[in-house]
Amino acid sequence: MRSLTARTDAGTPAAARSRGGRAALALLPLAVLITAFLLVPTVALVWGSFHDSKTGAFSLANYSYLGHPLDLIPFRNSLELSLASTLVGGLVGLLIGQAIVSSRQPLIQEIATTFSSVAANFAGVPLAYAFIATLGNSGLLTLFLRSNGIDLYDGGFKLYSVLGLTIVYAYWEIPLMVLVMLPPLQAMKRSWREAAEILGASRWQYLRSVAIPILMTPFISSLLLLYANAFGAYATAYALTTGFVSLVPIEISNLINGDVSYDPGQADALAVGLAVIMAVCIGGRAILERRSTRWLDR
Amino acid sequence: MSGTSIAGEATEETLPAMIVAAEKAGKARRRVNRGPRVPVWAIVVLTLSAVYFLLPLYATAVYGFSNGKHFTLQPLWDGLGDPGFQTSLRLSLFYSVLTTLLALAVVAPTAYMVELRFQRLRSTIEFLSILPFVIPPIILVVGLSSMYGIKSPVNLLASSWAPVLLMGGYFILTLPFTFRAIDNALRAVDVRTLTEASSSLGAGTIRTFMKVIVPSISLGLVSAALLAFTTAMGEFTLAALLGYPTFPVYLLNVNGWQPHMGEALVLVSFLITWAGVIALAAVARRTPGTQVVRGGPM
């Protein structure tokens, strides 16, 4: 700290030190808040995951879920749900993004971007109830289809299932994809396509040799973002299923809040497992981002 | 087009007219080019997605403005007049306003100091921006409850410090967004030169910050405030699992026993998010690089 202030201040060393000290004081409130509400709880969580919650002795029992197929069901369900909503959100989002760019209408771009920002922020309880009103047992669309001879619920559809959750998660995954893919899609220059056409490339050749290689990195990186986003989501899933579909975030909440299933140690261990999955996604995204192709730098 | 009628020989008299006509034709052609040549597939994609995104909102409105038989605004008036709604909304406003003020008061001076003196901390701070993904609310809440929960030796939850716990949690959840918004604004102005100029005129650090820096980053502060406020207003996971009866928590409960009123209140909640995000988009249009989406699982 002393060397830093000495570099920026030309005053006497003592004056610089006291000024540097006062400057460091300005960082103190943030440091205190981060320590109290992020670092200490995180340490407590990791510590708790390796200790028996009743006796306080060191134990790996909380991680026994890793060896039991039955205990891995929430992970399997979460994996399935995240994969499905990432694929739907990713592909549809890409399609909408390209449609927005291809429209070349400033007004459409403006409306679509603003609406995407709004929709990407619609999550949790309100979104769950909007979908209950639409696709629930007596939702608007369900009733409409039923009166036209198509009974979704007789056909085995449930809103509070992995399929139903996928439809609901897509509501924020698609606009998120649109928002993160719009910049790279807009950075694709028309002249590249024209150059390819002049050189005699077909539409498919242009896609295969120019567009796909350039867009692949941001596309995969966006998918990782969507995946992590779906995996860690709790509010929407809980509001929609009231805890009946076994997902990792829901199991965690049952373990810290449930009367019967109360087990903070296991909740800690599940939370660590979830954090590892999230870290892998986001770490992968950071690596991809670092070697994002220079073609897209505007 | 009038350009074709003067295609004869060019005399001195007709030349200006030709130029004008050619300009007109050029403008017209440019207008045609910019005009509605949206590809058919783009129209289909955008229309279908508009249906998917608007249908749940429409269904919510149909349920919220009905008593089961016909259109009425009664559920909305019932909801707005409901004491439970008013109490929970007041609680949400309380936490949102306090979180916003805390974020501004802590983050703005810190970001300023980092920009001015502690550039070396930048990478640490950048790391914060991915934290909401690695530690989403469902993980943070486990850490908070094992550290400060009912069963913990440091039982903040049952003490008069309980409000601080939720505020601290919300501060951490919103930190990446508030920090980035303010940091973007700081980087857009030349903080170093402004500070040197101000101190050469005799102003101290605090005076410089309040009178020079704050006014020049006001838009960044506004978007940080909006991000913090809308996040805290809609937050469900921490509030529900730590046991604070905020508006989203109430929304979940009321839907169980009064669905029409519940759906009407969902509309109220949508309006709050909507207002926040659209205000944010308006600010973002004037300051490029502002993040409109909170990002991160909810």
**Domain that residue B49 falls in:** 10-64
Give A-chain residues touching B253 at CB under 8 angstroms: none
For an interface test with B, give the residue of A46, A142, A242, A256 to mutate (most B CBs within 10 A): A256
Instruction: Look up tokens 């539409």; give the residue.
Output: A203
Residues A81 and A211 both lie in one domain: yes
pLDDT surpassing 50 at residue A298: no
Token code pair at residue A251: 């199991």
* Cβ contact A256–B145 (<8 Å): yes
Residues B139 and B54 both lie in one domain: no
**Does some domain include residue B4?**
no
Residues B87 and B59 both lie in one domain: no
Q: pLDDT, tens digit, for every residue of B189-246?
A: 888 888 888 888 988 888 888 888 889 899 899 989 998 999 899 999 999 999 999 9
CB pairs under 8 A between A and B: 264
pLDDT surpassing 60 at residue B29: no
Residues with Cβ within 8 Å of residue A3, at least 6 apart in sequence: none
- Please give the Cα distance from A181 to B82 (Å, whole number): 43
**Does some domain include residue B70?**
no
Positive or negative: CA dihedral A51, A53, A56, A59: negative
Token code pair at residue B291: 């993040």
Residues A87 and A30 both lie in one domain: no
User: From residue A145, how far is each of A135, A151, B25, B143 by CA, in Å?
Assistant: 10, 6, 53, 45
Residues A92 and A32 both lie in one domain: no
Give A-chain residues touching B244 at CB under 8 angstroms: none
**Does some domain include residue A257?**
yes
**Does some domain include residue B298?**
no
Residues A21 and A93 both lie in one domain: no
- Beta carbons of B267 and B76 less than 8 angstroms apart: yes
pLDDT surpassing 50 at residue B252: yes
End-to-end Cα distance, chain A? 37
Residues B110 and B151 both lie in one domain: yes
Beta strands in chain A (DSSP E): none
- Give the domain CATH number at B151: 1.10.3720.10
The answer to whether A216 contacts chain B (CB < 8 Å) is: no
Residues A27 and A88 both lie in one domain: no
Q: pLDDT, tens digit, for every residue of A155-188?
A: 888 888 889 999 999 999 999 999 999 989 988 8
**Does some domain include residue A13?**
yes
**Does some domain include residue B265?**
yes
A21 vs A235, more confident: A235
**Does some domain include residue B73?**
no
* Cβ contact B296–A229 (<8 Å): yes
Per-residue pLDDT band for A65 (boundaries 50, 70, 90) equals confident
Give A-chain residues touching B278 at CB under 8 angstroms: 114, 118
- In DSSP terms, A51 is beta-bridged to A58
Residues B87 and B216 both lie in one domain: yes
- Among A42, A105, A120, beta carbon nearest to B135: A42
- Beta carbons of B236 and A235 less than 8 angstroms apart: yes
Helix (H, G, I), strand (E, B) or coil at A58: strand
**Does some domain include residue A129?**
yes
**Domain that residue A33 falls in:** 2-49
- Please give the Cα distance from B221 to B229 (Å, whole number): 12
Minimum distance, in Å, between the CA of residue B20 and any CA atom of chain A: 28
- In DSSP terms, A58 is beta-bridged to A51
Q: pLDDT, tens digit, for every residue of B10-19?
A: 455 555 565 5
Q: Which residue of B has its CA nearest to A265?
A: B146
Residues A33 and A93 both lie in one domain: no
A145 vs B26, more confident: A145
* Cβ contact A4–B118 (<8 Å): yes
- Please give the Cα distance from B270 to B252 (Å, whole number): 14
* Cβ contact A44–B130 (<8 Å): no
Could you give the number of structural domains in chain B? 2
Residues with Cβ within 8 Å of residue A158, at least 6 apart in sequence: A164
- Among B45, B59, B248, beta carbon nearest to A139: B59
Q: What number is the average pLDDT over the span A106-131?
A: 87
Minimum distance, in Å, between the CA of residue B209 and any CA atom of chain A: 12
- Beta carbons of B17 and B6 less than 8 angstroms apart: yes
The pLDDT of residue A8 is 45
- Rounded to two decimals, what is the model's pTM? 0.84
The pLDDT of residue B5 is 40
Residues B27 and B171 both lie in one domain: no
How many CA atoms within 13 Å lie on the side-chain side of A40? 17
- Beta carbons of A107 and A101 less than 8 angstroms apart: no
**Does some domain include residue A204?**
yes
- Among A41, A112, A139, beta carbon nearest to B144: A41
Q: What is the 3-state secondary structure (H, E, C) of chain B?
A: CHHHHHCCCCCCCHHHHHHHHHHHHHHHHHHHHHCCCCCHHHHHHHHHHHHHHHHHHHHHHHHHCECCCCECCHHHHHHHHCHHHHHHHHHHHHHHHHHHHHHHHHHHHHHHHHHHCCHHHHHHHHHHCCHHHHCCHHHHHHHHHHHHCCCCCCCCCCCCCHHHHHHHHHHHHHHHHHHHHHHHHHHHCCHHHHHHHHHHCCCCHHHHHHHHHHHHCHHHHHHHHHHHHHHHHHCCHHHHHHCCCCHHHHHHHHHHHCHHHHHHHHHHHHHHHHHHHHHHHHHHHHCCCCCCCCCCCC
Chain-centroid distance, C-alpha A172: 10
Per-residue pLDDT band for B297 (boundaries 50, 70, 90) equals low
Mean pLDDT, chain B, rounded, equals: 83
Residues constituting chain B: 298
Q: What number is the average pLDDT over the span A108-124?
A: 84
- Give the domain CATH number at A198: 1.10.3720.10
The answer to whether A16 contacts chain B (CB < 8 Å) is: no
Q: pLDDT, tens digit, for every residue of B52-72?
A: 999 999 999 998 998 878 888
- Please give the Cα distance from B211 to A84 (Å, whole number): 52
* Cβ contact A37–B144 (<8 Å): yes
Closest CA to A229 of B147, B65, B43, B137: B137
Token code pair at residue A226: 């969507």
Per-residue pLDDT band for B124 (boundaries 50, 70, 90) equals confident
Could you give the number of structural domains in chain A? 2
Q: pLDDT, tens digit, for every residue of B90-117?
A: 999 999 999 999 999 999 999 998 888 8
Minimum distance, in Å, between the CA of residue A249 and any CA atom of chain B: 6
**Does some domain include residue B293?**
no
**Does some domain include residue B186?**
yes
Positive or negative: CA dihedral A37, A40, A45, A48: negative
Closest CA to B136 of B262, B297, B25, B268: B297
- Among B139, B236, B237, beta carbon nearest to A274: B139
Residues with Cβ within 8 Å of residue A4, at least 6 apart in sequence: A20, B117, B118, B120
